[in-house]
Structures are given as C-alpha cells and as structure tokens.
A and B are shown apart, each in its own frame.
Chain A
C-alpha cells in the first residue's frame, strides 16, 4: 500500500461513537453509497471541522457503539482514508479495515505530541508510511502499531468472501460432521 499524505482534520475527542459518525435515522437507505453527506450530521463541532483532509486525528475509543458499517461507509464517502487514534472499538475497527479505511493506533504520548503539533500548525501535512509503520508530521516521526492488512474490496463482499468461498470444501466437511442446532424453517405450533 502506498503512502498517504494529507492535511488532517483535528477532532481529538474521546468516544466518538457511531451515532455521532452517522445518526441512525440515515440508516434507512438500502444503498451503501452517498452516506458522506450525513457524516457528523448532528455534531456541529465535527461537521464544522471537516475539510478536504483525508485523515482524521481523533481521540480514544473511536467508533464505539453500534455495528453499523454505514459508519466507515460515510467516512470513506466523505474522502476519509485513515483515522489516527489511541484506540478503536472492535466492531468499527473490523468494519473499517474491511472497507479500506485505515485505523492507525498510536500511543497516548505520541498522540498528544501529534495533537499539539497540529494545533500549532493546522496546515501541517501528515504522511502515513504503511510499509514502515510510521507517520510523519513536520519533524516529528511516530511509530504506529501495524494496522491490519487492509482488505481488497474490488469484488462485492471483498477479498474475505473470496477466501471463504475458496474454503467451501472445508466448510462442507465441517458441516458434514455436525447437525444444525436449530432449523428456523421448522413448522412450529
């Protein structure tokens, strides 16, 4: 994966939850596209901070709350490619990676340095070097934990579905050795 260089949207707020990323009332769509216009819809501070930047620097526990994949869809549709935080909620993290949105986890003191730097210089460019797991901003260099391999989404369902379909014989073998525990199509009284 190539380096990502961009301005950053600075939102160093802890617990930016999925309802703040995209409120539930916008989940009535049957499409996954076009959700960017609802990003931070009910959060004035968030929507005001958004710019052309493709990186968000957030606080701790980003993406806590619901399992809605609409959250990474909305971020990506709005042009966000990476979120830098000290931690992510599990389901959001998995959903993000699966869609090519990179969750970049940095240590708390590095995070504080980065925030201070961007507060002093809001136009500072961040470069995320995925190969070397390091991000640079001005003269500061910060190592980050190896982000999970970002999934390929070129086919519907992505590379993970390709892999699972390749394993279908193994799955059949597993199923041959176990009875389904419930049958939802069973007639009940």
Chain B
C-alpha cells in the first residue's frame, strides 16, 4: 500500500508525536525532542524548576550546552581569567557551569575547543541531522532547519518541560512553501535572499506556519548558506524553516564527530533519503521568488521586513495606503534619521559588525575577507569580526583570514553572540549607525539608542572600507 504523501514537516512531526492515552480532545500534541541545545541566558530558571520539583534531567545524552550570549569576546587575561562585562553576567556563566555539572549535561565552556554560538557549533559537530526535532531557548534555533530537521525556539518554561520529560506540548503549525529559483548575481548572497523574502512577506507573514524552502536557488546553496536562510525564518514570523536534505547535506555531515560513522552513516543516508522532497504534498500556503533578479539588500528601518535593494530608494510614508504601516514607517525613519525617497548609499557608517548565528561561519568570514583583502577599514569606522565558534576561529586563522582583518584595521575577536544583541558589553553607542550581518534591527538592539542596518558580510565589508553605505558590486568589478 502506498502511504499518503506528506510534507517534510508533517513527516517529522508525525515521527515524533507521542501517542498519549487519553488523547486530550483538541489539545496540543506531545512532541518528543531529539536534541536540546542549552545556553546560559534562558536556562537558569528552568534548572531551578527541576530542583523545585525534585526531578532529574531526563536525557542528558540528548542535551548539549554552550556559552554564547553573554560571553566576552576579548581573550582571557595572563592568568587565564575571562573578564565579564559585569558581576551578573559572570554569575550567570557560573550558574550554567554548576547546573550542567549537577544534571550531567555536556558543556562547551569558555576555552573549550567547541565553545561558540549554539547554532554555529552544533551543526559543525554533526549534531544536527535530517529528520530530527531540535529545540533551544533561542528563537534562532530555526537555523537547523537547513538540515531538514524541525528546529524551533522555546521559552524557559518549555526548556524545563524538555529537561524533565524530553517532550513538549505543541499546537501543530501549518506549512508555507517559500520557493526560490534562479542563480544569484555576483555580490548577492544567501543573506540578501532571506532579507528579500522577509521584505516581501512581512515579519508576521509566517505566523502560525513552518516554512519549507524549495527551488533551484536553495538546492544550489551550500549548507552554510542554507543555515543563513533558515536562521532568519523567525524574522519572517515562522518558528521554523525546513530544507529537504540532499547530497549537499549528506556530504557536509560525513565524518563530523557526532554524525553516524562508517556503515551506520550509509544506513542513515538511506533513511534520510526517504524523507519527503519538496512538492510531494500540498502546502497550506505557497509563494515564489525569482532570485536571479536580486541585488544586495539592506534594511532602512527598525524591523527586519523593512529592507530594499542597495540601489533602491527608501519608501516614502506618504506612498503607503495602510494607516498602521504608514505610522510604522514614519516612526522607523524618525528613529533611524533616514530620509525617505532616497537610496541609503553614501550614508555615513560608524560601526561594522560581522558575526552572529546568521553570518559568522567560515564562508561568511571569507566573503568579508575577500572584500577587505588589500584594502583598509575607513578611519571613521570601528569594525568587529566575531567568529561563531572556536572551531570557525581556528579554521579562519589557518587560512590567514585573521591577518586580512587585522591588516585592514578590523578587530578580530573571540567567539560569541557579541554585538548582535549587545548583552556581553560589545555594543554601539547611542546615535551610532551600525551595518551588521546579524538578524535584528530593532530599536536599541545593539545598544540603547543605537541604529542598525542589516546586510550581508560582503556588503558590511564594503561599508567598512568606504565608511558609508555602499554597493559591494562596485568593488567586485
């Protein structure tokens, strides 16, 4: 008998739905979780719930902790001590260390060879595999959908639920196909693709849905590019984004420390190949993009959906018909101090940040380095390059990328989330304008009063060199 075709999302959901007795009528499903990623910021209150209830952590072997959000990106001092931005931060880091020891959770602590941003280090190690369910107390857990894994962010209460039961209660979302076809032009990257998608569907476009990305642009992307796309699914309102696994996925995973090895790997690939491919079953919604016409993207407002092509004018509030949208745009432009109706090119830049779970992988650093090689950062610009993990940092240094950045006048830092959310002390000052390869341009996100323009690593590097918002394509000629 032929099984009814399903979407990749449905296949994973069904394979992880626990049959419970009695089934709550119309209630949420009980979903079993294959991998739980943990970090210092959203876990302490969840570990506390275990203690208050006298419960063990059910599956430490399916739990992995790292330190990333509030860790310093400056090296330890001569005695090996890390200098934290304040006492609370140091206490939170120590709390994670104590909690992981108490409950048996493996931890990539500061100085560990695998320490880094959860969403960079876990895939690097082969922990993320097709068909898995993955959660983390962090909205950018959506990154891991690049492997054909259902991965989404949860709040701290649910972190406790997964600690205690390896399960969570969840209402089933609907599916939304994002089909992207066409070859990318030089200077256009995965970051530009996802910024363009969000600019079109809006930051609430995916609410209640999981994205399933498809099309030739996606299939020709590397795993790192796919992670950049899936990472920002949450900025499009979807908790998760999925890409069906293919040879690119399997080639990436082969030989990674936590991936199956030898004959086990071959058996796993055979199983992964049976997961549904795009288009085998209908989606609730669908939208198509032609990526061949894309240009480098930048954001001009205080929501990731406020993005335009680098050469296009910023929209004028008067041109919008919806009252609320007009009001949002006016507020955003007031905050950003940008003039509508004109392109952003040429606008002075104070800070450039290359990093974050969106764009801090080796290929991102190569992109930025290619632009900076033989050039210098404008003396009006402070540029920070923060690799996503210790492993990425080491790989970049083996290639000499650190030397390119340092020679150009950029700062080469230790791994972490850093200036993406400015909770470790790395931040911009009030009124400053940052071009950032991160994922959110919310008011004050990178420091109180700070203004953020989101862009690709190539565009960020071009802006650093020129000291103004720039079209990287002019530097590729």
- Enumerate chain A interface residues (CB-CB to B < 8 A): 13-15, 17, 19-20, 23-25, 27-32, 42-43, 59-61, 64-70, 87, 89-91, 94-95, 98-99, 155-158, 160-161, 163-165, 167-168, 170-171, 173-175, 178, 180-186, 188-189
Could you list 29 A-B pairs, sorted by A, with CB under 8 Å? A14-B327, A17-B303, A17-B440, A19-B421, A28-B91, A29-B88, A42-B444, A43-B443, A64-B204, A67-B141, A68-B41, A68-B42, A87-B204, A89-B237, A90-B208, A90-B237, A90-B239, A157-B49, A161-B160, A161-B165, A164-B30, A164-B165, A171-B30, A173-B19, A182-B127, A183-B61, A183-B62, A185-B106, A189-B257
Contact of B89 among A15, A28, A66, A181 (CB under 8 A): A28
Contact of A95 among B155, B239, B324, B445 (CB under 8 A): B155
Contacts of A90 in B (CB 8 A): 173, 207-208, 237-239
Task: Compute how far the CA of A17 lies from the CA of B292 in the bound complex, rounded to whole angstroms.
Answer: 32
Contacts of A95 in B (CB 8 A): 155, 157
Contacts of A65 in B (CB 8 A): 139, 440, 442
Q: Please judge, given known A-B contacts A30-B92, A181-B132, whether A42 and B449 are in contact too, CB under 8 Å.
A: yes
Task: Identify the closest chain B residue to A13 (Cβ).
Answer: B331
Contact size range, B: 35 or more
Closest 10 pairs between A and B when the two form their complex, measured CB to CB: A69-B155, A30-B44, A67-B153, A188-B257, A28-B88, A95-B155, A156-B52, A24-B423, A42-B444, A24-B421
Smallest CB separation, B32 vs chain A (Å)? 6
Task: Compute how far the CA of A124 lies from the CA of B444 in the bound complex, rounded to whole angstroms.
Answer: 32
Whether the pair A165, B164 counts as a contact (CB closer than 8 A) is yes
Whether the pair B91, A182 counts as a contact (CB closer than 8 A) is no
Within 8 A of A (CB), among B25-39: 30, 32, 34-35
Task: Compute how far the CA of A171 lies from the CA of B166 in the bound complex, rounded to whole angstroms.
Answer: 8
Task: Compute how far the CA of A178 lies from the CA of B58 in the bound complex, rounded to whole angstroms.
Answer: 16
Whether the pair A19, B139 counts as a contact (CB closer than 8 A) is no
Smallest CB separation, A42 vs chain B (Å)? 4
Whether the pair A181, B207 counts as a contact (CB closer than 8 A) is no
Contacts of B63 in A (CB 8 A): 184
Q: Please judge, given known A-B contacts A67-B153, A184-B258, whether A60 and B204 are in contact too, CB under 8 Å.
A: yes
Task: Compute how far the CA of A183 lies from the CA of B237 in the bound complex, rounded to whole angstroms.
Answer: 31
Smallest CB separation, B223 vs chain A (Å)? 17
Q: Please judge, given known A-B contacts A20-B444, A170-B18, whether A68 and B423 are in contact too, CB under 8 Å.
A: no
Contacts of B443 in A (CB 8 A): 19-20, 42-43
Whether the pair B138, A66 counts as a contact (CB closer than 8 A) is yes
Task: Compute how far the CA of A124 lies from the CA of B95 in the bound complex, rounded to whole angstroms.
Answer: 46
B448 close to chain A: CB less than 8 A: yes
Contacts of B327 in A (CB 8 A): 13-14
Question: B403-435: contact bitstring with A at CB < 8 Å (1 yes, 0 no)?
Answer: 000000000000000000111000000000000
Task: Compute how far the CA of A160 lies from the CA of B162 in the bound complex, rounded to whole angstroms.
Answer: 11
Q: Please judge, given known A-B contacts A13-B331, A42-B449, A184-B106, whether A32 and B156 are in contact too, CB under 8 Å.
A: yes
> Which label, helix, strand, loop or mixed, suits the secondary structure of the A interface?
loop
B293 close to chain A: CB less than 8 A: no
Within 8 A of A (CB), among B203-232: 203-204, 207-208
Contact of A31 among B45, B157, B204 (CB under 8 A): B45
Contacts of B61 in A (CB 8 A): 180, 183-186
B129 close to chain A: CB less than 8 A: yes
Question: B435-468: contact bitstring with A at CB < 8 Å (1 yes, 0 no)?
Answer: 0000010111100110000000000000000000
Contacts of A91 in B (CB 8 A): 139, 153-155, 234, 239
B64 close to chain A: CB less than 8 A: yes
Whether the pair A27, B204 counts as a contact (CB closer than 8 A) is no
Whether the pair B30, A167 counts as a contact (CB closer than 8 A) is yes
Contact of B20 among A64, A67, A170, A184 (CB under 8 A): A170
Task: Identify the closest chain A residue to B445 (Cβ).
Answer: A19
Task: Compute how far the CA of A168 lies from the CA of B132 in the bound complex, rounded to whole angstroms.
Answer: 21
Whether the pair A160, B169 counts as a contact (CB closer than 8 A) is yes
Whether the pair A182, B32 counts as a contact (CB closer than 8 A) is no
Contacts of A156 in B (CB 8 A): 48-49, 52-53, 160
Question: B271-313: contact bitstring with A at CB < 8 Å (1 yes, 0 no)?
Answer: 0000000000000000000000000000000110000000000
Whether the pair A19, B444 counts as a contact (CB closer than 8 A) is yes
Q: Please judge, given known A-B contacts A20-B443, A157-B157, A174-B32, whether A184 and B60 are in contact too, CB under 8 Å.
A: yes
Within 8 A of A (CB), among B132-179: 132, 137-139, 141, 153-158, 160-161, 164-169, 173
